[in-house]
């Protein structure tokens, strides 16, 4: 079986370098291209594997994936929302698959990604770990069983340099709660911190956001009612779990029909 060649954008970032190292070891995956937008002469041209702290790859870092589109089948993006849109349009022009792990896209950006998915296969997910995607289904089932009279909180912790808050995963967990309750997410989500004299609103999903040190990622969903409490927790020990999921998504999406897919599709998790 031929390996799926991946092109990784933004390898100077935390996730970018992790993606390169994992790609070099992932079964069925070959590192075809890697890019850095820094245009730094100390970065561009260097071996992507060695630069990322892994083995020599034989792949030179490019200033853009556009310069080496013939070297990859699927692009992987964990950069920023603005670049995701550019990459989606480029992949559409060159008929490449696309895996998106970037979060915090606005409505217009999501619309542009959806338009690209009409012509190419796209996997987009706020979190690509197997555990989180199983947790999403567990949260929906628990919420369905407990109903909206149960107090439900979503708690998320990340490193202090993470830009978006709440995280894409936290929002996905909140939407899973709303799905189980058969509610509209905007109607039941509360992002304002409680303070003296500010009572908790009934039926609201309360979000709590923490940014601390170098925490990779932790998400909790807490259900409390009567004299009982149920807590579902996922802790990320390293960024490799997200990178491994991205490689799994890349191998899955290569050669697929155009469409907008999720990690639930990749992992064939029962809805």
Catalytic residues, by residue number, are: 158, 162
Whether the link from the prior residue into 263 is cis, omega within 30° of 0, is no
Let me know: does 251 contact 28? Beta carbons within 8 Å: yes
User: How far is it between the farthest Cα atoms of the chain?
Assistant: 64
Exposure string of 161-170, with b = 16+ CB inside 10 Å and e = fewer, is ebebebbbbb
Residue 34 burial by Cβ neighbours in a 10 Å radius (0-12, 13-18, 19+):
buried
- Alpha carbon distance 18, 23 (integer Å): 8
- Alpha carbon distance 141, 188 (integer Å): 17
């Amino acid at each position: 079986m031929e390996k799926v060649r991946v092109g990784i954008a933004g390898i100077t970032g935390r996730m970018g370098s992790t993606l390169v190292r994992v790609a070099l070891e992932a079964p069925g995956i070959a590192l075809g291209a890697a890019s850095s937008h820094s245009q730094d002469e100390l970065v561009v041209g260097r071996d992507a594997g060695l630069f990322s702290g892994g083995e020599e790859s034989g792949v030179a870092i490019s200033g853009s994936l556009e310069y080496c589109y013939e070297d990859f089948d699927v692009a992987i993006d964990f950069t920023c929302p603005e670049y995701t849109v550019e990459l989606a349009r480029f992949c559409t022009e060159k008929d490449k698959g696309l895996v998106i792990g970037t979060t915090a896209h606005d409505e217009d950006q999501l619309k542009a990604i959806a338009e690209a998915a009409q012509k190419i296969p796209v996997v987009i997910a706020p979190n690509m770990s197997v555990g989180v995607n199983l947790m999403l289904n567990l949260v929906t089932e628990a919420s369905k069983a407990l109903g909206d009279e149960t107090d439900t909180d979503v708690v998320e912790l990340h490193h202090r340099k993470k830009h978006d808050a709440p995280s894409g995963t936290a929002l996905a967990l909140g939407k899973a709660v709303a799905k189980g309750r058969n509610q509209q997410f905007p109607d039941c989500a509360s992002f304002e911190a409680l303070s003296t004299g500010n009572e908790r609103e009934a039926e609201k999903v309360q979000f709590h956001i923490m940014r601390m040190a170098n925490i990779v990622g932790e998400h909790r969903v807490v259900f409390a009612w009567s004299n009982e409490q149920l807590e579902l927790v996922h802790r990320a020990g390293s960024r490799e779990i997200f990178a491994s999921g991205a490689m799994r998504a890349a191998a899955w999406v290569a050669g697929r029909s155009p469409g907008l897919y999720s990690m639930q599709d990749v992992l064939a998790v029962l809805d």
